[in-house]
């Protein structure tokens, strides 16, 4: 089976990190390989920058000018003078300057011109050395920036891969629990995703309405309506058909001894019902709607993974008061 794009990006970025850190490839090959990574990762600015490193910089693009500064290419910013050529040209210049310096070292002179020639050579070598230092600095900054980009992609994709595998495992378990305890919800979940993909305000409103129906259907499935009441926190909670939140909270109370966890789940449920209510749909953006849907799903998953009974649940079950006892 072929690799997915995400797997390919993770593998390519890992290879590039080794290439940079172990010096396995010359700079021009690194740039070409990194350009492919930028294209796959959708990093448009980095892709443009790498294009300038491969083909030379230009004066009429803000990205070009900014990366001239980042890579230390300016010799005189006010006059817009600097090393505009690609990285390969800078590397070639470094090699040329080093060779020229070696040539002067091998020159053996004597006589009346020796002092003057040696002074000229010293001046020339000083200028060449200065140029080599600046060009080497450019190369160092380019490789440092390249390393930062590749590192960010690598760890981002590595985390995404772990998160995806973790969530897939969680989703598989939650879907099985939903199918077992509230099977009708599975048919509603895809419709929410489909609506959210449309992105317009009407679709978002319909998606949120479906989220509310999912929560209500969940309450009906795990704790069907009853005329009984339940004593919780000093309050007698009604459990009739209209009291969806009460019934879910009772279901939770009967399955966990942790008051802090109960309170957190109760507050989360109240917040979800509040945000998916019809009256506030106009305030919800597409991004928030998607987050709300994920929160609904995660909430269902956490509630369904609660143990079937606890020691405290047995005692609290006696707090249910039937209508005939009133």
Whether residue 326 is predicted with pLDDT greater than 60 in this model: the reply is: no
pTM score, two decimals?
0.57
Burial per residue of 240-259, b for 16 or more beta-carbon CB atoms within 10 angstroms, e otherwise:
eeebbbbbbbbbbbbbbeee
Which token pair is 203? 């679709």
Which one has a higher pLDDT value, 317 or 55? Answer: 55
Residue 81's DSSP bridge partners are 76
**Long-range contacts made by residues 45-54, C-beta under 8 angstroms, separation at least 24?**
46/149, 49/145, 52/86, 53/86, 53/87, 53/142, 54/28, 54/86, 54/87, 54/88
What confidence tier does 285 reach under pLDDT thresholds 50, 70, 90?
confident
The string of DSSP letters for 282-303 reads GG--HHHHHHHHHHHHHHHHHH
Mean per-residue pLDDT of the chain = 85
Q: Locate the domains of the chain by residue range.
A: 5-161, 184-325
201-224 per-position pLDDT tens digit: 888 888 899 999 999 999 999 999
Express each pLDDT in 82-133 by its tens digit: 999 999 999 999 888 888 887 776 555 555 666 566 666 667 777 788 888 9
Distance CA 42, CA 154 (A): 14
What was the pLDDT predicted at 220?
A: 94
């Amino acid at each position: 089976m072929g690799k997915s794009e995400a797997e390919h990006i993770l593998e390519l970025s890992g290879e590039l990190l080794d290439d940079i850190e172990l010096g396995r490839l010359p700079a021009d090959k690194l740039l070409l390989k990194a350009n492919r990574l930028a294209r796959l990762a959708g990093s448009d600015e980095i892709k443009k920058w790498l294009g300038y490193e491969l083909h030379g910089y230009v004066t009429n693009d803000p990205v070009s000018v900014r990366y001239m500064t980042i890579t230390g290419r300016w010799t005189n910013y006010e006059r817009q003078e600097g090393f505009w050529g690609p990285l390969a040209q800078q590397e070639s210049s470094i090699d040329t300057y080093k060779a020229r310096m070696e040539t002067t070292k091998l020159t053996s002179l004597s006589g009346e011109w020796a002092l003057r020639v040696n002074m000229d050579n010293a001046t020339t070598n000083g200028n060449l050395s200065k140029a080599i230092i600046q060009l080497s600095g450019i190369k160092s900054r380019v490789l440092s920036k390249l390393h930062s980009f590749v590192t960010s992609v690598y760890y981002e994709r590595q985390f995404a891969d772990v998160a995806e595998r973790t969530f897939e495992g969680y989703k598989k378990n939650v879907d099985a629990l939903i199918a077992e305890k509230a099977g009708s919800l599975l048919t509603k979940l895809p419709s929410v995703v489909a609506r959210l993909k449309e992105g317009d305000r009407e679709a978002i409103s319909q998606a949120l309405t479906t989220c509310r129906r999912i929560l209500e259907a969940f309450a009906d499935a795990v704790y069907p309506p009853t005329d009984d009441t339940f004593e919780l926190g000093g309050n007698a909670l009604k459990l009739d058909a209209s009291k969806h939140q009460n019934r879910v909270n009772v279901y939770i109370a009967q399955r966990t001894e942790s008051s802090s966890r109960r309170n957190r789940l109760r507050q989360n449920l109240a917040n979800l019902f509040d945000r998916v209510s019809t009256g506030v749909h106009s305030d919800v953006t597409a991004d928030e709607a998607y987050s709300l849907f994920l929160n609904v799903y995660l909430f269902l998953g956490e509630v369904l993974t609660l143990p079937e009974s606890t020691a405290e649940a047995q005692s609290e079950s006696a707090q249910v008061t039937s209508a005939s006892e009133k």
